């Protein structure tokens, strides 16, 4: 007895006629009758009352029909699931700091998905600090963040250094001009920084750039999210230093001015586990280079501000 017997029996039981069942199965009637007979012989019980018109199932036939339908469903499900598993057995989990979404990341992700449709690409929003923990715990395969963090088992690569810009409300005195300005211009105004937690964060990066330039901002307000900071900028509560890609958020009440200082940049850092080089990760890295070679990836808004690449920079696009 095999699956074909079940399939034939189910067809006869549902059609209540050998003729219609044979048509449905695209076979002639004699082999169908023979198969059902073989099935009944193997079971040792009649399953169909052949005297009745339309045909009726015996009690054993009704029981067998219910089981046969279930078995066939399970069989088809098993085939479909196995096919799906074979297709999605490859998985790449990518952690990203929220602000990298304003840069090349969406473009890179689209390219990766088009190139590798059978790899399940999972994107998880993670701060740079969380990315290191997640890499060590095997929860992500690659992280894109902005903060330089040391971990013995993590390889870090600066992909590029993104210029920073100063966000200000439209009616601010500094907003009358759109040319690059010095970061020293922020001194008289409150400075908004984000995120407050976890530290070290992008907030510390901005503070240390100011510090290294000898600029001590007056009042500093910490907020949790960039969106909040920009809302407060629009409210006239202060100024905020943001990566240039953020200009994609075209708020009509906020203006952005490029900064003159070459050190006013924020790195985009790719972190991976040391010696971990699955093919999908290598492909992702190649796609990043391709995107950078395009020069300007879609949505890139700020012209580079001549920052010099640091030691770690292997793929500076400045």
HSE value, Cβ hemisphere, 13 Å, CA-based, for 276: 18
Residue 277: CB minimum distance to ligand BEZ, A: 17
Residue closer to ligand BEZ (CB basis): 8 or 144: 144
Binding-residue pattern over the window 122 to 161 for ligand BEZ, x denoting contact by CB under 6 A: ----------------------x--------------xx-
What's the CA gap between 154 and 144, in Å, rounded? 13
Residue 316: CB minimum distance to ligand BEZ, A: 10
CB atoms within 10 A of CB 196: 14
Q: Do the strands 254-258 and 154-169 form a parallel or antiparallel pair, or are they unpaired?
A: antiparallel
Q: Which of the residues 159 through 178 are near ligand BEZ (CB under 6 A)?
A: 159-160
Helices 59-88 and 3-15 cross at an angle (nearest 10°) of 120
What's the CA gap between 300 and 163, in Å, rounded? 11
Q: Smallest Cα–Cα separation from 117: which of 142, 139, 94, 92?
A: 92
The beta strands (E) that lie in the chain are given as 48-49, 56-57, 90-96, 119-125, 142-145, 154-169, 191-193, 220-222, 239-243, 254-258, 265-273
Residue 159: CB minimum distance to ligand BEZ, A: 5
Q: Which of 11, 230, 288, 305 binds ligand BEZ (CB under 6 A)?
A: 288
Q: Select from 18-26, 84-92, 99-107, 257-265 the region that touches ligand BEZ (CB under 6 A).
A: 99-107
Q: Which of the residues 193 through 222 are near ligand BEZ (CB under 6 A)?
A: none
| Cis preceding linkage at 200, omega within 30 | yes
- Closest CB to ligand BEZ belongs to which residue? 103
Residue 120: CB minimum distance to ligand BEZ, A: 19
Q: Which of the residues 232 through 261 are near ligand BEZ (CB under 6 A)?
A: none
Q: Which of 132, 233, 268, 305 binds ligand BEZ (CB under 6 A)?
A: 268
Which spans of this chain sit near ligand BEZ (rule: CB under 6 A)?
100, 103-105, 108, 144, 159-160, 268, 288
């Amino acid at each position: 007895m095999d699956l074909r017997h079940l399939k034939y029996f189910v067809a006869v039981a549902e059609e209540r006629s050998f003729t219609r069942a044979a048509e449905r199965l695209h076979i002639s009637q004699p082999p169908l009758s023979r198969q059902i007979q073989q099935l009944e012989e193997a079971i040792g019980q009649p399953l169909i009352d052949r005297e009745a018109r339309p045909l009726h199932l015996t009690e054993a036939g009704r029981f067998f029909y219910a089981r046969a339908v279930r078995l066939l469903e399970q069989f088809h499900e098993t085939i479909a699931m196995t096919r799906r598993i074979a297709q999605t057995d490859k998985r790449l989990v990518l952690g990203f700091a929220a602000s990298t979404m304003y840069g090349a990341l969406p473009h890179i992700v689209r390219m990766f998905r088009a190139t590798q449709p059978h790899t399940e690409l999972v994107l998880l929003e993670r701060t740079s600090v969380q990315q290191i923990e997640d890499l060590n715990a095997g929860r992500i395969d690659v992280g894109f963040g902005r903060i330089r963090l040391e971990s013995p088992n993590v390889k870090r690569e600066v992909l590029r250094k993104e210029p920073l810009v100063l966000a200000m409300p439209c009616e601010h005195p500094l907003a009358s001009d759109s040319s690059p300005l010095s970061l020293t211009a922020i001194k008289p105004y409150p400075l908004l920084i984000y995120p407050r937690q976890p530290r070290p964060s992008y907030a510390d990066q901005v503070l240390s750039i100011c510090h290294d330039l000898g600029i001590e901002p007056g009042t500093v307000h910490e907020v949790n999210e960039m969106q909040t900071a920009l809302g407060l900028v629009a409210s006239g509560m202060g100024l905020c230093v943001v990566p240039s890609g953020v200009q994609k958020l075209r708020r009509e009440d906020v203006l952005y001015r490029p900064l003159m200082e070459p050190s006013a940049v924020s790195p985009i850092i790719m972190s991976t586990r040391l010696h971990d080089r699955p093919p999908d990760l290598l492909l992702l890295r190649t796609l990043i280079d391709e995107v950078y070679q395009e020069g300007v990836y879609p949505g890139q808004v700020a012209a580079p501000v001549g920052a010099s690449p640091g030691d770690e920079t292997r793929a500076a696009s400045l």
